[in-house]
Every structure is written in C-alpha cells, then in structure tokens.
A and B are shown apart, each in its own frame.
Chain A
Amino acid sequence: MTNLDWWVLFATLSGIVLYGMYKSRGQKNLKGYLLADKQLPWYHVALSVMATQASAITFLSAPGQAFRDGMSFVQFYLGLPLAMIFLCIVFLPIYHKLNVYTAYQFLEKRFDVKTRTLTALLFLLQRGLSTGITIYAPALVLSHILDMHIYYAIGIIGVAVIIYTVYGGTKAVSYTQMIQMAIIFSGLFVAASMAVSLLPDHIGIVKSLKVAGAAGRMNVLSFDFDLNNKYTLWSGLLGGFFLQLSYFGTDQSQVGRYLTAKSVSESRLGLLMNALIKIPMQFFILFIGILVFVFYEINPAPINFNKAALTRVEQVVDANEFSQKLQEYHEAENQKHNAALAYAEALDTRNETVIAQTKKDYQLKHQASQDERTSINEYMQQHDKQLDLNDSNYVFLNFVTNQLPMGLVGLLIAIIFLASMGSAASGFNSLASTTVIDIYKRWLNKKELTDKEDLRVSRLATLFWGIFCVIVAINASKLGNLIEAVNILGSLFYGTILGIFLVAFFIKRVDGVQVFIAAILAEGIVFASYSQDLVEYLWLNVIGCGAVMLISYLLSFVIKSRKVEAN
C-alpha cells in the first residue's frame, strides 16, 4: 500500500460514513430509526438488499473459491429469481398490509406469541453469528495489509461500524448502501479489466477460459443429481430457492430493507431488480477469480497465499529442508507455466492432435504442481498446527496488493470495507429491530414508551449486538472458507424458519401449538442431518422447511386446534 492507496481508502470510507450521518440526521422516532419513515424508492430497495447480501466475504471468498474449485458456486444463486417472484406474490403484500416492523410480528397475528418469539430467537442467534463472520472477513484484510494482530483489526472495524450504525439507523444504512454499491460495481469492473490486461498479449479471454477449463475450473453448470454434490443445477434451483426465500422472506436483515419502501410496488420492483442483477454480478465476481487463476497459471504463485502464515512457518522449519522443498515446487510451477503457454499457443494452430497433446501435457503438469503444493503445505502444517491449508480467502487479496497499480489497491481494499460495512450495518440494525420489537417491547417492557425512549432503547440494542458480533468475529478464524461458513450457518436455521412462515401462509388448519412443536422437531432433524453428514448443506433448507410443514400438518390431526375447540 502506497500513500496514495491510503488516501483513497481513507477518503472513500470517511466520505461514506459522513454522507450516511448527514442523510440520517434528525431521527425522531422508532419508525424513522427502524423503517426510514417508509419513504424510500425502489432503487434504494434494490441496492440495499444487494448490499446487505453482498458482504466483504463475497469479494474475498468468491474469487478464491473460483480459483480453487471453479465456477460451480454460481449455481448456488439459481433459485434466487424464483424466490423473488414468490416473495413478491405471497410475502410482500401481507407485510405491507399488516404494517409490521419485523417479519415475526406477523407470526403472532397468525399463530401465537411463543411461535413469534421462537422464530425471533432463531433469527437473533443465526444473524448474530453470521454478522460476526462478516466483520471477521475485512479484519482479515486489515491484518494482512497492516501486519497487525487480527484482534486489533476486528476491534477497529467493529467500533467504526457500531458508531455509524448506532447513530444513523435504517436511513443511514440504506443511503450509504446505495453509494457503496455504485463504488463496488465500478471497482469490480476495474479489477476485471486489470486482470485481463495483466495476461500476455497473445492470451485473450477465450484462451484464458480454455486454459481454466482444461484445469476443470469452468464447471459452471452440473446436471448431476447427487445429494452429496454441493453445487448442482438441482441443489441451486431447489435448495437455493428455499434458502433464498427464507433469507429474503423471513430474515429481518432483508425484510427490514424492503419494508422501508414507499409502497408495495416500490418494494416489488426493488426485489425484481435484485432477481435480475444478482446472478450476473456473482458470475462476474467468480469470473474475476478465473482470470486470477489463469494469471497464476502462467506466473509464479506463492506456496500459500496467506503471507503472514508463511512467514510464521519459515521461522520454525528447517531452513535448508524448506528451501529444498520450495525449489522443487518452483520447478513444478515453471513446468506448469510453460505447459499452459504451450497449450494456449497450440490453440492458434487449429491442429487437433497438437491441441490434445499440449492440453494433456498441461493437465499433467498442473496436477503435478498441485500435488507438490499440497505436500509442502502439509509439511508446513506439521510444523505449525495453526496453519490453514485452505488459503482461498487470501488469493484475491494477494493478487490485488501485489499486481494492481497504486491508487487502485486502495480502491479495491475500500470496496471490501464498504461491502462489509453495508452488510454488518444491516445486521446490527435488524438485530436491534427484532430485539426491541419482538423481545423488549413484547416481553420486557409492555408499557408505551416516548419517542425518545424508543430511540434510546433501539440505540442500546444496536450497541449490544455490535459488541456481540465483535466477540463472534474474534472466534471466527477457524471456519475455513468464509462464504460457505455463512451459508452453512444460515442453512441450519433458515429451513425451519421458512417452514413456519409457509405453514402460516398456506396451511390454515395448523395453529400455534402444532407449528411450535413441529419447528422444534424440525430443527432437531436438521442438526442431526448436518452432524451425521447425510446431505450437502443446501439440502438442509429443504429438509427443515419440509419437516415443519409435514409435522405440523400431521400434528393438526393429533393435537386439537384451539380454533376447532372454539368453534
């Protein structure tokens, strides 16, 4: 990082925070603080829901995931457009009609207070943990760049986001997210064009994709119907549909975004824009990872992209032995680079035999280099038990800081911060909304509060959750690929929560007691399926949701409904 990068980073972040504070000044009551007075237009809704979902993890982990495992992760989002349509038809009109602050208020109207409280508590647990991880991700950046301990980095980010969120409420969150997304989109285009320009002149995008494909990285779509295959068309469409429906329909961090719209139409249009933009955006981010992959197929790649871990290991291993191993790795890398270039050049000859031969040779050299890398990383781990073999979170960062020109490094780092601020702010805000509306005002203090007291309680709740999330972030370093960790965590709870809502909408004969018991049993089934490793995590959403619906329906025949009794 040069001085210019630091200035770009500082100016971008402070500009955003000041803008958010300026736009949200003069908060007067709970509606203003938690719902932005319900005055925002559709484009605010669209950008706000996107910024909430696209955390720093998206920009750190996704390119690294494409680098290590290919493009298959894009299938995770295939259910999103269908979920948005379902949301627009079923959920949205009811939320607007009931004029709720949180999604869980609806459950008390439909069932009873214990179902509302159980769902709110499941949300608080899941979102509190997930938001902690979204703070941890950019802290990783800071510690990497400033060479500081990760705990200090988490503290700095956490405090900055807490101050900004506690002051501004929903309005500040929404206004800053709009600017954040504009900067993020521009930064991504710059990163992609830089990655293309760093490729040799004779290797364009098509040849890059051929090289990536030969190494198995262009696995965009899989029709494989295997429950243990993480990303396929079917798991994306079905599992993804349930996960996204649950996330956007029942997670207050998203519901709170589109409840700020002026009308149902504005919310609807915002959500449909998200349906159209999200998959191409995610594809583009993964595509940047592929370009980075091709760059390192023809340029030297470090043995482990986590520089700090590498330095730590170098101090404890036998220097001669390690140097010898690195020498062998570099030789394997050189052979791979030559083979990749030979294959790319062979593509010009249009001679099928030459192309097939050079491709086979590249695939062998690529595998040999991978094997060498894995073997050395395992050797390193024997000397440093803390070393994480999965360095995918560091790949994009390493590329940005070492390959991009000055000024741009600052901008790209700022993007990662902005993304994190956007999603963490939504997280704090929604955790505070649910705590105040569904727990505090419903259970702890039922008397009417003044506007000033409402604001004070909301700000205190935001502060509490900010501190909670910082503590989670401190303990998040052992979770492997961060984007998957967040999604796995969501999948453990979202299916059950969605099941409760779908029963509320579609199975009229089920009442509060039946759905409450079904939800507890379903959560047990989900945890058992996960701990026994029965299916890949996206299917947990289907299992949780299906279990709640089926069990509550069956229970409605066994346990007498209060409605029936009343009749």
Chain B
Amino acid sequence: MRAEYEREFREFVDTQSPALLRVAYLLSGDVHLAQDLVQSALAACARRWHRIRDRDQPFAYVRKALYRSQYNAWRTRARRPESVVAAPPEHDTERDHAEDVATRRDLLADLARLPYRQRLIVVLRYYEDRPEAEVAAVLGISTGGVRSQAARGIANLRRLRAASENRTEAFR
C-alpha cells in the first residue's frame, strides 16, 4: 500500500474503530468477537482501500462488510451468536437507584437472545436508526423482509422484557 494510502487508512482506523466496535458488539454479543469482526472487516477494507477511498466510502464499506458477514453467518454458524460470549453481561443489582441503567443492560441481554438475523435488523433499524430501504440495501434483501423481521424482533424483545419483568416481580 502506498504511504499516502496507509496514512489515510491508519487515520480511518483510529477515528472509526470505536463506532464500528459498538455495532459489532451489538451483533456478536461478545467483546472479543466484536474485535475480531471489526479486524476482519478492516483487513478487507485495507485490501481495497485504493478503490473505496476514491469513492469516499470507507466507513460505508466496512459497515456493510460487518453486517453482511453477520447476516450470512447463520449458514455456517447458526449457533454462534447465541453460543459465544466471553463474559456475562453484568446485571445491575441496585435497581432502586439505577433502574434505567438496568433496563438498558437488559436490552443487551434480550438482544443477544434474538435469532440473529432479527438482531441484525433490529440493530440497523433502531440502533443505527436507518430507514427500511437502507437496511434492505445494506443486507441485499427486500424491504418487506426487513419490515417483517423488524416486527418479529420487536415482538420478541417485548416478550423477553415481559418475561424478565415477571421474574423480577416474583422475587420482590
């Protein structure tokens, strides 16, 4: 890689890695897998840097690579997103003063329990707040598919939330 390109690439990695890692974490549910996912996407990005820099789209390229690799990953590792975690998400035990924080932590746990195509679409739609058409374009599927998977994802999150709240009530 030319020195100029390498400098640009390094700047890109420095500035964009945190945002990419957050997305990768939501998709994989695991810090190490998220790092691995981002590194693989960055390596793919490095291979084509000379092209994508010209189009001024490196972030879009890496982000798309992240999502697509996860979207298709069910075929070879249908069990992975639900089976690999480095450490359990921490659950807040002091609900009385931090219930809102606990709720968001529960969201992470609930998200990890979704079938991961649903998880992927939920993250794109509601974490990244992307419109259906853009989600469809990123994943290469129809907007109808996005809509139905998003609806199922929301319904499952509601169900998981309700189950969690019922359990909490039972212990009070």
A and B form one complex? no
Interface residues of A (CB under 8 A from B): none
